[in-house]
Structure 1
Amino acid sequence: MSDVKALFGLIDKKNKRRLIGAVICCVLSVLCGILPYLGVWGIVTCFLNERTENLFQYVCLIAAAIILKHLLFGTGTKISHKVAYQTLGETRKKLFRKIARLPMGYVKTTASGQVKTIIMDNMEQLETFYAHNIPEIISGLAVPLCMEILLAILDIRVAGIMLIPVVLFILVGILMIIVQMKKMDEFNQAFADVSVKTVEYVNGMKELKIFAADESTYGRLSESIRTYSTVVTEWFQSCLKYVAFNHADLNSNLVFLFPLAGLMYLSGSVTAASYIMYLFMGLAMLIPLETVSNNFDYIGMNASVAKKIDEILKLDEMADTTSKAELSDHTIVFEHVTFSYGEGQPVLKDVSFTVPDGKVTALVGVSGSGKSTAASLICRFWDITEGQICLGGVPLNQIPLSDLMSQISFVTQNTFLFKKSIRENIMMGNPEATEEEMMQAAKDAVCHDFIMRLPKGYDTVIDKETKLSGGEKQRITLARAILKNAPVVILDEATAYIDADNEDLLQKALAKLSEEKTVLVIAHRLSSIKEADSIVVLEQGEVIDCGTHDELINRCSPYRDMWAAFEKSDQWKMGGVNA
Structure 2
Amino acid sequence: MIKTRLVGLLSHAKKYIVYTILWQWVALLSQVLAVFSIADLLERVIYQSVTAAVVERTIITLILVVIVRFSCERMGARSSYLACVDVKRILREKIYEKMLKLGASYKEQVSSSEVVQVSTEGVEQLETYFGKYLPQLFYSLIAPLTLFAILCRVSIKASVVLLICVPLIPISIVVVQKIAKKLLNKYWSIYTGLGDSFLENLQGLTTLKIYQADQQKADEMDVESQNFRRITMKVLTMQLNSTSVMDIVAYGGAAVGMAVALSEFLKGNISISGTICIVLLASEFFLPLRLLGSFFHIAMNGMAASDKIFKILDLPEPQTGDKNLPDDSLDISFKNVHFAYEENREILKGIDLYLPAGSFVSLVGESGCGKSTIAGIISAKNRGFTGEITIGGVSLSEVNESDLMKHVVLVRHNSYLFKGTVEENLRMAKPDATEEEMKAVLKKVNLLGFLQTQDGLQTKLLEKASNLSGGQCQRLVIARALLYDAAVYIFDEAASNIDVESEELIMDVIHELAKNKTVLLISHRLANVVESDQIYFLKNGEIQEHGKHEELMQKDGEYRHLYESQMALENYGRQVNRDV
Coarse TM-score class (shorter-chain normalised): over 0.9
For 2:361, what is the secondary structure of its paired residue? strand
CA gap 1:559/1:323 in 2 versus in 1, 3 angstroms? closer
Bigger shift: residues 138-147 or 27-36: 27-36
Q: Is the 8 A contact 1:420 1:461 kept in 2?
A: yes
CA distance in 2 between partners of 1:218 and 1:571 (Å) = 43
Q: CA deviation at 1:575?
A: 11
In the other structure, the counterpart of 1:469 is 469
State the distance in 2 between where 1:488 and 1:145 align.
70
Letter in 2 for 1:316: P
Provide the rounded CA distance (Å) in 1 between the counterparts of 2:573 and 2:153. 99
Change (3 A) 1:535 1:145: same
In structure 1, what is the Cα distance between the partners aligned to 2:429 and 2:511? 18
Match of 1:458 in 2: 457
Q: Which moves more between the two structures, 566-575 or 507-516?
A: 566-575
Aligned equivalent of 1:21: 19
CA distance in 1, matches of 2:578, 2:303: 66
The answer as to 2:442 corresponding to 1:438 is no
Instruction: Output aligned runs, 1:74-113, within 5 Å.
Output: 74-107=74-107, 110-113=110-113
Residue 145 of structure 2: aligned partner = 145
Residues 1:389 and 2:375 are matched in the alignment: no
The residue number in structure 2 matching 1:46 is 44
Other-structure match for 2:261: 261
Kindly report which structure 2 residues correspond to 1:50-65, keeping only aligned pairs within 5 A, or say none: 50-52=49-51, 53-65=53-65
Residue 9 of structure 2 corresponds to residue 10 of structure 1: yes
1:326 Cα offset (Å): 4.2
Structure 2 residue 512 is the aligned partner of structure 1 residue 512: yes
Matching residue of 2:531: 531
Structure 2 match to 1:563: 563
TM-superposed CA distance for 1:29, in Å, is: 3.0
What amino acid is aligned across from residue 14 of structure 1 in structure 2?
Answer: H
- Which residue is 1:355 aligned to? 355
CA distance in structure 1 between the partners assigned to 2:349 and 2:493 by the alignment: 23
1:240-294, Cα deviation, whole Å (9 max, x unpaired): 4432211111111464123322221111111222111111121333233332121
User: What stretches of structure 1 of length at least 5 have no aligned partner?
Assistant: none
Quote how far apart the aligned CAs of 1:431 are. 1.6
| TM-score between the two structures when normalised by the length of structure 2 | 0.93
Displaced runs of 4 or more, over 6 A: 574-579
* CA distance in structure 1 between the partners assigned to 2:364 and 2:218 by the alignment: 38
Query: Distance between the aligned counterparts of 2:546 and 2:289, measured in 1?
Result: 76
Map residues 277-356 of structure 1 onto 2, 5 A cutoff. 277-326=277-326, 329-356=329-356
Distance 1:556 1:378 in 2: 31
Shift of 1:137: 3.6
Shift of 1:458: 1.1
Deviations 1:311-349 (A, max 9, x none): 211212232344445477411001111112253422112
**Alpha-carbon distance in structure 2 between the residues aligned to 1:328 and 1:427:** 23
Contact map agreement 1:327 1:394 (CA 8 A) in 2: no
Find the counterpart in structure 1 of residue 120 from structure 2.
Answer: 120
CA gap 1:197/1:485 in 2 versus in 1, 3 angstroms: same
Structure 2: distance between partners of 1:561 and 1:290: 78
1:431 aligned partner, one-letter code: P
Per the alignment, residue 403 of structure 1 pairs with 403
SS of the aligned residue for 1:154 comes to coil
Q: Distance in 1 between matches of 2:532 and 2:476?
A: 25
Counterpart contact for 1:141–1:292, Cα < 8 Å:
no
The offset of 1:572, in angstroms, is 3.9
Identity of aligned residues (%): 25
Superposed CA deviations along residues 359-392 of structure 1, whole A, max 9, x for unmatched, are: 1111111111110110111112232431121111
Mapping of 1:157-176 within 5 angstroms?
157-176=157-176
Q: CA deviation at 1:236?
A: 3.2
Contact 1:81 1:130 in 2 (8 A): no
In structure 2, what is the Cα distance between the partners aligned to 1:415 and 1:167?
60
- For the residues of structure 2 that align with 1:498 and 1:227, how far apart are their CA atoms? 42
**Kept after mapping to 1: 8 A contact 2:328/2:487:** no
Q: 2:399 and 2:129 mapped to 1: Cα distance?
A: 43
Instruction: Return the offset for 1:239.
Output: 4.5
Moved more, 441-450 or 203-212: 203-212
Contact 1:201–1:221 (8 Å) recurs in 2: no
Measured in 2, the distance between the counterparts of 1:291 and 1:398 equals: 55
CA distance in 2, matches of 1:19, 1:486: 50
1:318 partner SS: coil
CA pair 151-76 structure 1, distance change in 2 beyond 3 A:
same
What SS does structure 2 have at the residue aligned with 1:250?
helix
- Partners of 1:553 and 1:256 in 2: CA distance: 97
How far apart are 1:501 and its partner, in Å?
Answer: 2.7
Letter matched to residue 462 of structure 2? D
- In 2, the alpha carbon distance for the partners of 1:140 and 1:44 equals 30
- Aligned amino acid, residue 340 of structure 1: A
Distance 1:323 1:18, change over 3 A: farther
Quick check: 462-471 or 216-225, which moved more? Answer: 462-471
Q: Cα distance, 1:475 vs. partner?
A: 0.7
Indicate conservation of the 8 Å contact 1:23/1:134, yes or no.
no
CA distance in 1, matches of 2:381, 2:277: 71
Distance 1:265 1:556, change over 3 A: farther
Asked if the contact 2:254/2:286 (under 8 Å) is kept, the reply is no
Q: TM-score, normalised by structure 1?
A: 0.93
User: Is contact 1:571–1:578 with CA below 8 Å preserved after alignment?
Assistant: no
* Unaligned residue ranges in structure 2 (runs of 5+): none
- Decide whether aligned partners of structure 1 residues 514 and 508 sit closer, same or farther in structure 2, where only a CA change above 3 A counts: same
- The answer on 1:230 being equivalent to 2:230 is yes
Q: 1:436 to 1:186 in 2, by over 3 A?
A: same
Query: Residue type matched to 2:456 in 1?
Result: G
Q: Which deviates the most, 146-155 or 262-271?
A: 146-155
More off after superposition, 123-132 vs 304-313: 123-132
What's the offset of the Cα at 1:460?
2.2
Is 1:189 aligned to 2:186, yes or no? Answer: no
Give distance in 2, aligned partners of 1:25 and 1:404. 54
State the aligned residue count.
576
- Cα displacement (A) at 1:122: 1.5
SS, match of residue 320 in structure 1 = coil
Q: Secondary structure at the match of 2:158?
A: helix
Whole-angstrom CA distance in 2 between matches of 1:449 and 1:102: 40
Distance 1:147 1:237, change over 3 A: same
Relative to structure 2, which stretch is displaced further, 25-34 or 221-230?
25-34
Any idea what SS the aligned residue of 2:573 has? coil
Give me the CA root mean square deviation.
2.5
The residue identity in structure 2 corresponding to 1:68 is V
Conservation of the 8 A alpha-carbon contact between 1:105 and 1:341: no
Does the CA contact (< 8 Å) of 1:197 and 1:220 recur in 2?
no
Q: Quick check: 527-536 or 256-265, which moved more?
A: 256-265
3-state secondary structure, aligned to 2:532: coil
> What do the CA deviations read for 1:54-82 (whole angstroms, capped 9, x no partner)?
33222222222222222222223223322
Instruction: Provide closer, same or farther for how the CA distance between residues 344 and 555 of structure 1 changes in structure 2, counting only shifts above 3 A.
Output: same
Q: CA deviation at 1:35?
A: 3.8
